[in-house]
Amino acid sequence: MQDLNAKEVEEAQESLIRYCGEFSSFIAEKAFGSYIYNKKGDAILDFTSGQMCSVFGHNHPKFVEILEKSGDKAIHLLSSILSPPVIELAKKLTGKLPDSLSKCIFLNTGSESNEVAIRMAKLVTGGFEIIGFSGSWHGMTAGAQSYTYSKTRKGYGPAMSGSLMIPAPYEYRCPIAHCKGSCDHTCLEVGMKMADQQSVGEYAALIAEPLLSAAGMIELKPDYVKRLKELCEERGLLLIFDEAQTALGRLGTTFAFEQYDVVPDFLTLSKTLGGGLPLAAMVTTAEIEEECHKRGFVYVTSHVSDPFCASFGSAAFDILDKEQLAKNALEKGKYLKQQLLQLHEKYECIGDVRGSGLLLGVEIVKDRETKIPDDDLGQKICSRCLELGLNMNIVRMKGYGSVFRIAPPLTISKKEIDLGIAILDEAIRDCTK
């Protein structure tokens, strides 16, 4: 792939803030299905679904149809005015959830959806302390960022008061150097005790991703979540599940928490809900909503309940059901993971393969004995993949660049998976000669 236009990127950087490290040298002209294209028409297979958002592939025909007809509909309204798309999406969303999760609000980003959940949790409990996991990512706004423990905290001043952290159950790298590849929950028990020691007695909530993506694709197992919920209830902590990346079929069920015998107090959705459009939601119980309403709850933004984006949310559920994409994620995810495990057997630099459905992680290490992350090699493989025609996601920040986050569209074909694996194989071989 020769059209990696470094000159155009350099010229663009004269006007653009570099908000995620260095920009990719590939400039996309259009996108469709599992591919993005440059202006020459060269195709790049997208193993990241954009920013993990285009869960049904780029420019799904149903979404394009909505875009084409949008000129005849309301696009934006005063926040207090409802519209048919918002009402329809509210009914569809809550209709797919347990009866307890019956009240929702529609926003634009994952950061916003988490801000609403945190705001309501603080209001209804009267507390202000929020617990998050090490390596977690819940957003870039002030509140959500305070409970985000990826490598994005240093240099920006104090976080919100009451920001507490417990270790994520990273089986490959036990955070307390205790487990031998299988988490026995000791990190959870110790982590909660440490949080108790830091707490000033004003607990509000614990926020968790069912699969911690930025932390390195760390999956929360059902028995772990069951114990987590028990520990939260003992402390009066409300439980927030952030399903920005895991909802809408990505892990093989409509919502990841369906795989647990636990229902959260708050569910936040974003990324996959809009299928590539800016749409997010927060869902909670009628009891919490009623109490917050009595206490004067307010959360008004310029684009809360915008009808235009809400219409894509309704379409997303239609696509998910009609095309049976949750089932496809299970089947194709199993196949993709098997292929990755074969590469694991072939290359010493692959330390671990993990994840679920079509949200998988591949960790690159210097050697398997020490498990030392190899950021430099990870970046080289990522760059080589792009040159060969495969878009891969690896965190560009130093110290977090050794885990590939593989999240292709749920519509991906077996043939496209084979192509992606062949390119990754060649890239690793080229970079480890």
From 112, 122, 137, 289, active-site residue:
137
Closest listed residue to residue 147, CA positions, set 135, 157, 156:
135
HEC string of the chain equals CCCCCHHHHHHHCCCCCCECECCCCCCCCEEEECEEECCCCCEEEECCHHHHCCCCCECCHHHHHHHHHHHHCCCCCCCCCCCHHHHHHHHHHHHCCCCCCCEEEEECCHHHHHHHHHHHHHHHHCCCEEEEECCCCCCCCHHHHHCCCCCCCCCCCCCCCCEEEECCCCHHHCCCCCCCCCCCCHHHHHHHHHHHHHCCCCEEEEEECCEECCCCCEECCHHHHHHHHHHHHHHCCEEEEECCCCCCCCCCCCCHHHHCCCCCCEEEECHHHCECECCEEEEECHHHHHHHHHCCCCCCCCCCCCHHHHHHHHHHHHHHHHCCHHHHHHHHHHHHHHHHHHHHHHCCCEEEEEEECCEEEEEEECCCCCCCECHHHHHHHHHHHHHHCEECEECCCCCCCCEEEECCCCCCCHHHHHHHHHHHHHHHHHHCC
Respond yes or no: is residue 209 known to be catalytic: yes
Cα dihedral 168, 172, 175, 179 sign: positive
Strand partners, 32: 35
From 122, 229, 332, 405, active-site residue:
405
Respond yes or no: is residue 261 known to be catalytic: no
Respond yes or no: is residue 271 known to be catalytic: yes
Strand partners, 218: 212
Respond yes or no: is residue 384 known to be catalytic: no
Respond yes or no: is residue 96 known to be catalytic: no
From 122, 229, 271, 354, active-site residue:
271
From 145, 245, 339, 379, active-site residue:
245
Distance CA 317, CA 13 (A): 38
| Chain-centroid distance, C-alpha 179 | 26
Respond yes or no: is residue 154 known to be catalytic: no
CB 207 within 8 A of CB 240: yes
Cα dihedral 152, 227, 218, 48 sign: negative
Tokens standing for residue 273: 């809900």
Cα dihedral 322, 271, 76, 115 sign: positive
CB 271 within 8 A of CB 244: yes
From 112, 242, 374, 416, active-site residue:
242
Q: Which residues are catalytic?
A: 137, 209, 242, 245, 271, 405
